[in-house]
Structure 1
Amino acid sequence: MAFLFDSFENWKQYSIQHNMPLHQIVLEYERTQKGRSEKDTWEGLDNAWQVMKEAVRTGLEEDMTSRSGMINNGAKKVYRYPTAVLSVEFQQLIARALAAKEVNSCMGRVVAAPTAGASGIMPGVLYTLQDIHRIDDQKILEAMLIAAGIALIMEQKASIAGAVGGCQAETGTAAAMGSGAIVYCLGGDTDQIFNAVAITVQCM
């Protein structure tokens, strides 16, 4: 099944031919290519989601000053700033993404999504999405599977490594993963999910 994740077209066609939702195909990939049972995959996703939420809360509630001093509680400053430039929700999303990133910079526990350097984007997006739309955890976990499939394709078509493609390879991929997750959670179909990914990559 590895070939499925060399293009969005193959992923889409497999979904149509086998009448399988996108996230279920990623589950099948984990089982056949990685040897992980469906139960183990769901448990791993749930653990990752808990770590993401914990990183957001830690970054907003605890002291986040790095040894170098370059990180100095910036997330809290954004979160508490009295004037929202675009909207309060967007301000919160940015603050939450920064919070998880600062936890990484201060040697805390994060989820590499897809890398540690970009570890704030998916938590910021998913945490805020759930907060605004009251999306249940199961839907979030399914969105994380779709995001993983997006990252697999990005890794093969370009790179997710900052050492290879610069910071854009990491944060651009994470933003694309987040876009796909948002559209899925809000009821978008396959084309809409993949279009969101493409628009994000173009803009990044």
Structure 2
Amino acid sequence: MIEKMKFLQLLNVAQKANQPFHEVVLVEQMLEDGSDPLEMKSKVRSLLHTMLEVAEYNYGKVQKTLVGLCGNNAYLLSLYEPKVMSEFMHTAMVAALSVAEANASMKKIVACPTAGSCGVMHGMIYALAKVMRIDEDRLVNGLIVAGIFGDIIAKTVSISGSVAGCQAEIGTAAAMASAMIVYVLTQDAEKSSHAAALCLKSLMGLVCDPIGGYVEVPCVKRNAVAVAVAIASAEMALSGIKSVIPFDEVVEAMAKVGKSLPEELRETGHGGIAGTKTACSILQSLRSGVVEEN
């Protein structure tokens, strides 16, 4: 069953059966909960449509967020002409900021894998569709594979910042997005796992420290930065670079790190960025009703 299987076990099943990895994932899901593979694929397609619609609708817009600590980041980046980054990365980062700020504005998003980290996957899917013109079926298969990486992390660690820090949210989102890029381009599950592992290793230990507990600062901008980490990890994996530590072991290490994080670094709004002098000043302004967008 999928809840007991690690990535390597699933990969072995796919190789022995000589079946595409995304199809094996659907079959294992059926064995776990009885879901019909065709119906599950249809649900994933529906989620894909929604994610593309959300990214398109909010792309580059100024948002009125809940407490006003952000709202114009996507707008500013959308107007900026990149000096060093590619069109793909720029588009993905703008979309990531757009959806993250939409979430902070209480608008509809797909919590993939969580609301606070939703921009990463939305951004990557949007760029794959709009810039690379990847066809829908390949995107659906990529989203299925991204989902199993997220599922393994969720069942081994958590995808909650309050449980295991932001590594569990942004880290998981980046790993999923990176694996999706590789799978969409190659259908190579093993290479996808190296991309995901490289992401998790790069973001391991990331703390969850939102100012005032609101999912705005530093959360929104982290979505865009995570896109860059995901792309870099995917490019390395595509080049043939491998993670020395296998994905399953990286996830196990991530779980241990998450358990060792002190409470103030797990979404309490007390440690990290949330505990800085400026953050405390911002909170005082919030209480008095005076907030400057950032």
Equivalent residue letter for 2:96: A
Contact kept? 2:117, 2:169, Cα under 8 Å: yes
- CA deviation after TM superposition for structure 1 residue 162, in Å: 0.8
Equivalent residue letter for 1:186: L
Question: Residues 112-158 of structure 1: CA distance to partner in whole angstroms, max 9, x if unpaired?
Answer: 11111111101101111222322101100100110111011112232
Equivalent residue letter for 1:170: E
Q: Which residue of 2 aligns with 1:17?
A: 16
Q: How many residues align?
A: 203
Q: For 1:72 and 1:103, how far apart are their aligned partners in 2?
A: 8
Q: Which residue of 1 aligns with 2:94?
A: 95
Q: Which residue of 2 aligns with 1:122?
A: 121
Runs of 4+ in 1 over 6 A off after TM superposition: none
Equivalent residue letter for 2:2: A
Contact kept? 2:65, 2:104, Cα under 8 Å: yes
Per the normalisation by structure 1, the TM-score is: 0.91
Change (3 A) 1:35 1:73: farther
Equivalent residue letter for 1:155: A
Consecutive unaligned residues in structure 2, runs of 5 or more? 204-294
Larger-gyration structure (1/2): 2
Equivalent residue letter for 1:108: K
Q: Which residue of 2 aligns with 1:2?
A: 2
Question: Residues 161-195 of structure 1: CA distance to partner in whole angstroms, max 9, x if unpaired?
Answer: 11111112101001000111000111152221111
Identify which range, 10-19 or 24-33, moves more after superposition.
Answer: 24-33
Question: Residues 7-34 of structure 1: CA distance to partner in whole angstroms, max 9, x if unpaired?
Answer: 2211111111222221112211332323
**The residue matched to 1:20 in structure 2 has which SS?**
coil
Q: For 1:181 and 1:78, how far apart are their aligned partners in 2?
A: 24
Q: For 1:34 and 1:186, how far apart are their aligned partners in 2?
A: 30
Identify which range, 13-22 or 146-155, moves more after superposition.
Answer: 13-22
Equivalent residue letter for 1:164: V
Q: For 2:68 and 2:32, how far apart are their aligned partners in 1?
A: 43
Contact kept? 2:99, 2:109, Cα under 8 Å: yes
Question: Residues 74-96 of structure 1: CA distance to partner in whole angstroms, max 9, x if unpaired?
Answer: 11211111344423331221111
- CA deviation after TM superposition for structure 1 residue 61, in Å: 5.6
Contact kept? 2:29, 2:35, Cα under 8 Å: yes
Contact kept? 1:179, 1:200, Cα under 8 Å: yes
Contact kept? 1:59, 1:75, Cα under 8 Å: no
Q: Which residue of 2 aligns with 1:196?
A: 195
**Where in structure 2 are the equivalents of 1:1-150 lying within 5 Å?**
1-3=1-3, 5=5, 7-60=6-59, 62-150=61-149
Per the normalisation by structure 2, the TM-score is: 0.65
Q: For 1:190 and 1:30, how far apart are their aligned partners in 2?
A: 17
**The residue matched to 1:133 in structure 2 has which SS?**
coil
RMSD: 1.7
Contact kept? 1:51, 1:109, Cα under 8 Å: no
Q: For 2:175 and 2:88, how far apart are their aligned partners in 1?
A: 19
- Which is helix-richer, 1 or 2? 1
Equivalent residue letter for 1:21: P
Consecutive unaligned residues in structure 1, runs of 5 or more? none
Q: For 1:66 and 1:186, how far apart are their aligned partners in 2?
A: 36
Contact kept? 1:121, 1:178, Cα under 8 Å: yes
